[in-house]
């Protein structure tokens, strides 16, 4: 059986996937934890089906060895900041300003980000600023578009038409039209707000994997 390897994004932890995985009880699952709220965890999985949210996709492309059995990217991207051939990205100065504020008030910046994502009253009391700061700096410079282009496995990308972090223009610039499904009214937290829909699409992807 293909193992799902779930990778969260910036500001979240491995528990981010609970709602989705509750709907997939018959599947083998491992979760990456980047250590933003405690001890990190990087499981070794042979030929996983990578399920990545937001920055988790770029991180997976940079850190999870190939081959992969498949990829489900959710609210995700291979590059976040704007570049000459990626004008749909976020202006680099926005990430730079966030980094500067994070160095002074990391909990406030993280809480504001989570609130913008759609989390109601986020609890950042247990956060570890060091790995969050390192990941934020990496987010501003990462570029895994070539790695994504070269990825030879079944792929599917889910995104929200009302995503305040990864706008539809960024999603359509990041993935081929045949691989991308946009959710009407979906925001940046599709595994939390649309878990049944995400699970259904994940099952369809699994059906394509030999």
Low-confidence residues in the chain, pLDDT < 50: none
- Is residue 188 exposed (0-12), middle (13-18) or buried (19+ Cβ within 10 Å)? buried
What strands, in cross-sheet order, belong to the sheet with 49-53?
29-32, 4-7, 49-53, 70-74, 155-160, 180-183
Give pLDDT tens digits for 17-54: 999 999 999 999 999 999 999 999 999 999 999 999 99
Tokens of 166: 């990864």
Torsion of CA 187, 192, 193, 194, to 10 degrees: 100
3-class state of residue 42 by DSSP: coil
Domains of the chain: 4-79+143-207 (3.40.50.1820)
Contact between residue 14 and residue 31 where contact means Cβ atoms under 8 Å apart: yes
Residue with tokens 């889910």: 158
Could you read off the pLDDT of 73-87 as tens digits, one per residue? 999 999 999 998 999
Give how far the C-alpha of residue 191 lies from the chain's centroid of Cα atoms, to the nearest Å.
10
Sorted by sequence, the CB contacts under 8 Å of residue 97 that are 6+ apart come out as: none
pLDDT at site 1: 83
Confidence at residue 210, expressed as pLDDT on a 0 to 100 scale: 67
């Amino acid at each position: 059986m293909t193992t799902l390897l779930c990778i969260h994004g910036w500001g979240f932890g491995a528990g981010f996937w609970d709602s989705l995985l509750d709907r997939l009880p018959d599947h083998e699952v491992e979760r990456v934890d980047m250590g933003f709220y405690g001890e990190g965890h990087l499981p070794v999985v042979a030929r996983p089906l990578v399920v990545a949210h937001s920055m988790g996709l770029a991180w997976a492309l940079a850190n999870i060895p190939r081959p992969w059995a498949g990829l489900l990217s959710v609210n995700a991207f291979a590059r976040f900041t704007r570049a000459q051939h990626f004008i749909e990205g976020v202006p680099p100065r926005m990430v730079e300003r966030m980094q500067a504020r994070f160095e002074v008030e990391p909990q406030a910046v993280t809480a504001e980000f989570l609130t913008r994502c759609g989390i109601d009253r986020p609890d950042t009391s247990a956060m570890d600023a060091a790995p969050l700061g390192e990941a934020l700096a990496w987010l501003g410079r990462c570029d895994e578009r070539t790695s994504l282009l070269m990825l030879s496995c079944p792929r599917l990308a889910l995104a929200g038409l009302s995503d305040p972090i990864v706008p539809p223009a960024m999603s359509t610039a990041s993935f081929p039209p045949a691989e991308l499904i946009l959710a009407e009214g979906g925001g940046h937290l599709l595994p939390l707000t649309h878990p049944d829909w995400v699970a259904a699409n994940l099952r369809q992807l699994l059906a394509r994997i030999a």
